[in-house]
Amino acid sequence: MGSAPEASASARIPAPAADPHGVRPVADAPSTLQLLRSLGSGPRGLTEDEAARRLDRYGPHTLPHARPEPFVRRLLRGLRDPFTAVLLCLGLVSAAVASWGTACVILALVAVSCVLRATGEHRAERSVAALRELVATTATVVRRPGDAREVPVADLVPGDVVRLGPGDLVPADVRLLRAHGLTVHQAALTGESVPVPKRAVDLPPGPDDTTHLCFQGSGVASGSATAVVVATGADTRFAAALKVAGRRRGASAFDRSVHGISWLLVRFMLLTPPLVLMANAALRGRGLETLPFAVAVAVGLTPEMLPVIVTTALARGSARLARGHGVIVRRLPALHDLGAVDVLCVDKTGTLTRDEPVVDAGRSDSEALRWAGISAWWTLQSADLPTPDPLDEALLAATGPEDWEAYDGVGVLPFDPVRRLATAVVRAPGAALGTHTLAVKGAVDEVLERCALDADERKRLAVRASELTGTGLRVLAVATGERAARRRPWTTADERGLCFTGFVAFTDALAPTAAAALSGLAARDITVKVVTGDHPGTAARACRDLGLDPGDTIRTGTDIDTRTDAELAELAAGTTVFASCTPSHKARVVRALRSRSTVGFLGDGVNDVPALHAADVGLCARGAAPVTRESADVVLVDPAGDDLGAIAQAVAAGRHAGATITSYLRITLSSNLGNVIAMLAAGLLLPFLPMLPAQVLVQNLCFDAAQLSLAYDRADPGEVRRPTVLRPRAFLRFIVGFGVLNAAADLATFGILLLSGPGLSSPDVFHAGWFTENLLTQALVMVLLRPSPCGPAVRWSVAALATLGVAVPPSALGPTLGMTALPGLYYGLLGAVLGVYGAVLWAWGRRVRVRPLARP
């Protein structure tokens, strides 16, 4: 067991489009002879000349893949971010009104942001490209007059005859001509965790039956075969999944959150200059001479460093993950999306379990286990098989030499996927002279049929086996039989009248770190859901063994098919395990969950590609199918194979990056909004401009440079405990409240300037006083308006910012910027204002605890 009976294998393998060369339809030709005739081939293959002609016609057998994106195009793609585009426009407008300093700074920030983002993604693409050698590179081909040789996979053409053996990767889509005991691993295509029997048939049973076909991307588990190539390159089932991989993705969590904030700010910035111009024209009679000031006000509201902060935070997090945890982030915003993930969908095989069975000794009959081990050992020895069957490996691991060495192997009848049995003939120690013992193991119904049992006993044993399989176990039946020694070969006719010995139960080997990783994800408020092509019982048992409650009901593909999208969203929210799922089922489940949550999907097979594209962030492991790696946003290449543990680390890095971005927005926008409110009020009340464009530029440069330290700040433990999503409405309430508080501090500063001297009548004194107060309040905001104590980088930046605020006006640079030294009384009164402002800021921040990064 292990595969889903409800979903056929063909339904799980992506079907290709119609073949433009007319080759693909012959795979379903009525008979083998008609197939070979249609391909112009035969049992001995093609001639070298004909193969060369077909190679020219069809081209190399390589999977279509997207060309590497040029670096310049990556740079330009960075401008599609709405906020970066707005900054670019503001820079151009600043240049148009001759504010050259402002224009140069803004355009430089845009360039730095685009370069950082493009460089990080280019580095990730190079790392992923290094994994592409995991695909088969050669194949054994028969070419007329019948010689077998190794040729590059890229040289295969339709009509080639290839040979397959244990351990080989299937190099193309093929139809079997001959097969002996052939089973293949096609988990990468269908999600089935056990090898699938394949056989050669002259007449296929039906269009949905694929037992006579093997597809590129699968691997031979046991047996051997000769097959004819029916599809190569873009016509293979593997390539069909690439078309899904090439589809454009929908908006991710990063797009929805940051873009929502960006467009909110865009509206403010577009409204600000006209309002300033109209207000100054109506109340002060000023004309276009206030345009530079209006642009400066818009720039003052703009968090110019946002693109740089976002890119730096994400790039640093991605670099740390690549160096320390074997995680390659191919798309930088995907790291932010990981921080926002609150639902993680995983496949069972390769993630929660290893792709190998183990004996469940507690549910196996000890005598049956001993005889099954003997059969496995002597079958492997006598049949001279190159590699043991996975079940035999599990049996050998559960038993030991003390169980085998006392017996002498006499003969063997290897496993046959049609007969579904394997038999070893041994000489038991102490047995009567001339007596041999048959040790038979195999499918329950086949073994019971060959045992000397009455109908009631056979039915009772079948029910017991069904109960075991119902709990997610795989079951082998074991029987023995005493036979007289002889010289002639043993045959399947001897497998009759056996004595039933018992059952051996197998379960999937659990990934050694999966249980701890699941606990770590739960501690971070991430709900794990299993979406697999495996049988419901198998999936549920793996979950229980790992401490993940599968719930009362395991949903299957049938449950998905009978629900509308709205009904499925409700069902998915309360379901932990979806089993017997096709690729389309997985994608629907992910889309349904995404309507309420931020969803990550971890997969490794071609059948997972649609779900990877449906998720906010797609993840895959190092050993994933090449097409899956090309489709994923994040590739886990940890040599230890701790995929879930690596995801937990990536989630923590994503949440830290998200918290950094939000801290910047929270600090900058609340401060900037307060400054803009005060600037507008002062512009209407004063007979001169409250702040010169050059002063706005220098102030913003100082503040922006200080805030760059936020990207290098340490992570707060509280930041990584919960999923992080920017919510524009809550964020707007936050910055308006603290922005008004900041404006009140600015207006209080205007009052002390009036009390301490000719502040309101002297533009230089007013400019100097407000410049100093602005930088000091912004320094306070950086320290107090954050959920945790700041690290060394931020402390040094805050100290430098405060020093500049006090030192610049009386310095030689002051007169150049239109500022002068301030009277001593001003500093005393300003200290009192800042003390009150800091106390209110600290108390209000602790009371409100508004977190723009919060659970959705």
Q: Are 442 and 415 in contact (CB under 8 A)?
A: yes
- Known catalytic residue at 347: yes
Two tokens at 40? 């112009």
In angstroms, the CA 817 to CA 800 distance is 19
Which whole number is the average pLDDT over 267-294? 65
Q: Are 177 and 27 in contact (CB under 8 A)?
A: no
In angstroms, the CA 670 to CA 393 distance is 64
Residue 50, pLDDT > 50, answer yes
DSSP assignment letter at 720:
G
In angstroms, the CA 297 to CA 407 distance is 92
Secondary structure class of 213 (helix, strand, coil): strand
Which whole number is the average pLDDT over 735-743? 83
Under the banding of pLDDT at 50, 70 and 90, the label for residue 101 is low
In angstroms, the CA 58 to CA 156 distance is 10
Strands (E), 144-172: 147-152, 161-164
The reported pLDDT for the residue numbered 13 is 46
In angstroms, the CA 635 to CA 129 distance is 11
DSSP assignment letter at 250:
-
Candidate from 84-93, 313-322, 430-439 with smallest mean pLDDT: 84-93
Q: Are 764 and 818 in contact (CB under 8 A)?
A: yes
DSSP assignment letter at 148:
E
Work out the angle at residue 227's Cα, subtended by the Cα atoms of residues 224 and 229, and round it to the nearest 5 degrees: 140
Given the residues 19, 168, 347, 494, select the one marked as catalytic: 347
Under the banding of pLDDT at 50, 70 and 90, the label for residue 291 is low
Please state whether 744 falls in left (phi above 0), alpha (psi between -120 and 50) or beta: alpha
Secondary structure class of 53 (helix, strand, coil): helix
Q: Are 766 and 686 in contact (CB under 8 A)?
A: yes
Q: Are 247 and 410 in contact (CB under 8 A)?
A: no
User: Using one digit for the tens of pLDDT, what is the confidence trace for 392-446?
Assistant: 888 988 988 887 778 888 888 887 777 889 899 988 887 777 889 999 999 999 9
Amino acid at 747: L
DSSP assignment letter at 110:
H
Residue 131, pLDDT > 50, answer no
Most confidently modeled range among 86-100, 517-531, 603-617, 682-696: 517-531
The reported pLDDT for the residue numbered 384 is 59
Which whole number is the average pLDDT over 372-381? 86
The reported pLDDT for the residue numbered 282 is 58
Residue 29, pLDDT > 70, answer no
